Amino acid sequence: MAVRRKKTENKTGRISFKTGSFKKDKKRSTDPNSMSLRSILKLLAVIGCLVAVGTSLVFLDKYVSKTVSASAKITAIELVNPPAWLNQQLKDKICATATASAQGLQLDDSGVRSIQASLQQKLAWLVNVRVQATHDRILIQADYRKPIALVKVGLRKFYVDTERVVLDFVTIANLPIIEVKGLSPIDFPAIGQVWQRDDLAEAIGILAQLDRMDRLVTPDKPLLNEIDSIDVSNFKGRQDKRFPHIVLYAKDNTEIIWGAEVGTWAQYFEARDEEKLAKLYNYYKQRGSLLNGAKYINLRDPQGSISLPIDKY
pLDDT at 264 over 50: yes
Q: Give first-to-last CA distance, the chain, whole Å.
A: 150
User: Considering the domain boundaries, does residue 84 fall inside one?
Assistant: yes
Q: Are 117 and 36 part of one and the same domain?
A: no
Which residues span the domain enclosing 49? 32-59
What is the band of 77 on the pLDDT scale with cuts at 50, 70, 90? confident
Burial code of 165-185, b = ≥16 C-beta within 10 A, e = fewer? bbbeeeebeebbbbbbbbbee
With respect to residue 254, please indicate whether it lies within any of the assigned structural domains. yes
Interatomic CA distance for residues 299 and 257, integer angstroms: 6
Instruction: Quote the CA–CA distance of 75 and 68 in Å, as a whole number.
Output: 15
pLDDT at residue 227, rounded to an integer: 98
- The pLDDT mean for the chain works out to 81
Q: Are residues 151 and 140 in the same domain?
A: no
Residue 38 CB contacts under 8 Å (≥ 6 apart), including other chains: none
For residue 106, give the CATH number of its domain.
3.10.20.310
Nearest to 247, CA basis, from 168, 187, 182, 310: 182
Helix, strand, or coil (residue 140): strand
Looking at the structure, do residues 152 and 116 belong to the same domain, yes or no?
no
Give the C-alpha separation, 149 to 164, whole Å: 9
- Other Cβ atoms closer than 10 A to 247: 20
Confidence of residue 7 (pLDDT cuts 50, 70, 90): very low
Report how many domains make up the chain: 3
Assess if residue 27 is contained within a domain.
Answer: no
- Residue 34: the pLDDT is 52
Its sign, for the CA torsion 45, 50, 53, 59, is negative
Domain match, 159 and 99 both = no
Determine the pLDDT at residue 69: 38
Judge if 182 and 271 occupy the same domain.
yes
Query: Of 122, 144, 166, which one is at a domain's C-terminal end?
Result: 144
- What is the SS3 assignment for 203? helix
Domain closes at, from 109, 129, 144? 144
**Do residue 124 and residue 181 come from a single domain?**
no
Q: pLDDT tens digit string along 195-244?
A: 999 999 999 999 999 999 999 999 999 999 999 999 999 999 999 999 99
Q: Given its phi and psi angles, is residue 274 left (phi above 0), alpha (psi -120 to 50 degrees) or beta?
A: alpha
- Positive or negative: CA dihedral 6, 12, 16, 21: positive
* H or E stretch covering 18: helix 2-29
**Residue 101 and residue 82 share a domain:** yes
- 193 and 115 belong to one structural domain: no
For residues 242-270, give the mean pLDDT: 96
Query: So what's the pLDDT on residue 9?
Result: 45
Residue 255 pairs in a beta bridge with: 249, 296
Same-domain status, 211 and 174: yes
- If we measure between CA atoms, which residue out of 151, 253, 146, 272 comes closest to residue 201? 151
Work out the average pLDDT over 56-62.
47
Looking at the domain assignment, is residue 17 inside a domain? Answer: no
pLDDT tier for residue 100 given thresholds of 50, 70 and 90: confident
Distance CA(223)–CA(201), nearest Å, equals 21
What does the pLDDT read at residue 311? 41
Summarised one tens digit per residue, pLDDT across range 31-42 is 555 556 666 666
Say if residue 138 is in the same domain as residue 269.
no
pLDDT at 53 over 90: no
Per mean pLDDT, which range of 63-77, 273-287, 293-307 is the poorest? 63-77
pLDDT over threshold 60, residue 28:
no
| High-pLDDT (> 90) share of the chain, % | 58
* pLDDT given at position 300: 95
pLDDT band at 63 (very low <50, low <70, confident <90, very high): very low
My answer on whether 111 and 186 are in the same domain is no
Residue 200 has a pLDDT of 97
Same domain flag for 121 and 222: no
**Banded model confidence at residue 108, pLDDT cuts 50, 70, 90:** confident
